[in-house]
Structure 1
Amino acid sequence: MTGLLNLTTPEILMLALICFGAGIVRGFSGFALSALVMAGAAFILPPIQLIPICWWLEIAASLLMARGGWQEADRSLVWTLVIMSALGTPIGLSLTTTLDVEMSKLIALGLIIALALLLLFRVKIPGLATKPGLYCTGLLAGTVTGLASVGGMVIALYVLSSDTPARKMRAALALFLFLGSATSLAWHFAFGVMNNEAILRGIAFAVPAICGVWAGTQLFTPRFEPYYRPFCLTLLCALSAIGLVRVAIT
């Protein structure tokens, strides 16, 4: 297994644990799977190698949660976001594939902290909940997906600014993550990001992630729902800050 994945045994165990934990959070909060993996595992693998792994995790989690209310989502809005995201993904990937590894880590972790803080403090961006804002959101979501696989957090900002009910927000995020992952696959192959090694890693780590998602859905308690999102976003900030410190001192 270590030879196929080109990872040491401790690295495999640590990545499996991170994926399982991120899956739990995705199961009860509905988002942040890729962001948590990126924030927690950036010291093991560079973002360019984590992005295709996150692709497999998102697809697996989305299929597992398919019965979680996709019908509640505004499909015309989601499709607009998906199309614009498909245009933005190559922008992010072109940056990620050309940047220095340490710089790409700094950008990825910095993005996660910035987006998490905006969501944590429920910052509403003026003009975001407009037609031009919708197009810009999709384009930006695709760009940051290519940079750090965190496009879902940009969509969450859009939904927050538009005062969409929580139920529809969760459904829109889930549907976007599934459709967005499907449309980004071609770009991953085009940039050489999704290679045989990435496929094997993605499939292998999808297993603990799926187990985590299942556990998270079982742990979900409606009366604690108001606390899930702040907990998740605070955890993202903490993990990303630790990652930035690691990069700074190495």
Structure 2
Amino acid sequence: MLLILAFAAGLLRGYSGFGFSMVLALGLLTVSPPALAIPVVLLLDLVCSVSLWPGARKTFDAGVGLRLLAGMLLAVPVGSLALARLPEQWMAPVVALMCLLGGVLVLFRQPVAGRPMATKWAMPAGFVSGLVTAMASAGGPPVVVYLLRSGLSPASVRGTAIVFFAVSDVLALASLWWLQVLSLAHLQLAASLLVPALLGNVAGQLLFRRKPMSLHLLIGGVLVLLSAATLAKTLL
């Protein structure tokens, strides 16, 4: 089951530029403690994003992206410390609830391409995303909702998201390493899921080149379905 989930997460990441961490975290947190699951998700997300970097550099929007990164830089150390200290039983329902809210917002707040860019909310969105990325690997919803409402083109949304989450993953992993959270168990679990995640990532890139579809419908629908199922499982 986890292999299928890793493939699906990779497919979503390769297609849209984001979503890998949220999808895989929702599954792993139902079978593994957060201290094991979250670093593994961050590791795989970073590795799977490497092939996306060259294209993302061409479509990265510096005005929005640098503001997002500045907010994230302030938040990641705080989120990493929270992961190391908060009770484990809180994490799975918190992640599911965040993803459910994010999915609903993505679905019902329609993107408006070509509108003037609202950069004033970029830094707060980056801060919230960095905080919950380090805490629960669920930092996608704040940035996704912001980017889809920022006025950027779909290509720029995808490229900016790819760069943002790559930097966010590196900083979150560095913070967890400094806090001595990372271990051999994380590497072993990540290695067992790496191949299906990479295969899904390649398939997602091919699909994006052949038949792009609305990113907000894809991301929002996946998040709502998976997070609702996970929330029900953790609370019932």
- TM, length-normalised to structure 1: 0.83
Match of 2:74 among 87, 97, 105: 87
- Aligned-partner Cα distance in 1 for 2:53–2:209: 19
Give the corresponding residue for 1:202.
Answer: 190
Task: Flag the 1:184–1:93 CA change in 2: closer, same or farther, 3 A.
Answer: closer
2:132 to 144, 153, 157: 144
Aligned to 2:28: 41
Query: Which one of the candidate residues 59, 62, 85 is aligned to 1:75?
Result: 62
Corresponding position: 1:106 with 2:93: yes
Post-superposition offset of 1:74: 1.7
The residue identity in structure 1 corresponding to 2:172 is S
Q: Quick one: percent identity of the two aligned structures?
A: 26
Q: 1:109, CA displacement in angstroms?
A: 0.8
2:47 corresponding residue in structure 1: 60
1:63 Cα offset (Å): 0.6
Tell me, in whole angstroms, the C-alpha distance in 1 between the residues paired with 2:87 and 2:122.
31
Instruction: Verify the 8 A CA contact 2:80 2:172 in the aligned structure 1.
Output: no
Pick from 118, 129, 142 the counterpart of residue 118 of structure 2. Answer: 129
How far did residue 107 of structure 1 move?
A: 0.8
After TM superposition, give the deviation of residue 152 of structure 1 in Å: 3.2
Q: Secondary structure at the match of 2:26?
A: helix
Are 2:216 and 1:234 equivalent residues in the alignment?
A: no
Q: For 1:154-165, list aligned pairs within 5 A.
A: 154-165=142-153
Change (3 A) 1:113 1:245: same
Q: Pairwise CA RMSD of aligned residues?
A: 2.2
- Partners of 1:94 and 1:218 in 2: how far apart? 38
Q: Write the distance in 2 (CA, Å) between the matches of 1:177 and 1:99.
A: 23
Distance 2:81 2:162 in 1: 26
Contact 2:59 2:159 in 1 (8 A): yes
| Change in 2 beyond 3 A, CA 1:219/1:134 | closer
Deviations 1:55-96 (A, max 9, x none): 111211211222333211123532332232122122223333
- Partners in 1 of 2:66 and 2:128 — Cα distance? 15
Q: Does structure 1 residue 118 correspond to structure 2 residue 118? A: no
Query: Shift of residue 123 of structure 1?
Result: 6.1
Tell me what 1:177 maps to: 165
For this pair of structures, how many residues does the alignment match?
231
Give the residue type in structure 1 aligned to 2:40.
I
The change in CA–CA distance for 1:24 and 1:223 in structure 2 (over 3 A counts) is: closer
Per-residue deviation, residues 11-42 of structure 1 (Å, max 9, x unmatched): xxx22221111111222222100110012222
Task: Say if 2:22 is the partner of 1:20.
Answer: no
Distance 1:172 1:130 in 2: 13
C-alpha distance in 2 between matches for 1:69 and 1:247 = 36
Change (3 A) 1:185 1:224: closer
Contact 2:2 2:193 in 1 (8 A): yes
Distance 2:91 2:172 in 1: 19
Do the aligned residues in 2 keep the contact of 1:102 with 1:247 (CA within 8 Å)?
Answer: no
- Partner amino acid for 1:42? L
Give me the whole-angstrom Cα distance separating, in 2, the residues matched to 1:90 and 1:97: 11
Structure 2 unaligned spans of 5+: 112-116
1:96 to 2:96 alignment: no
Tell me the TM-score normalised to structure 2 length: 0.87
Contact 2:69–2:123 (Cα < 8 Å) also in 1: no
Specify the code of the residue in structure 2 equivalent to 1:103: W
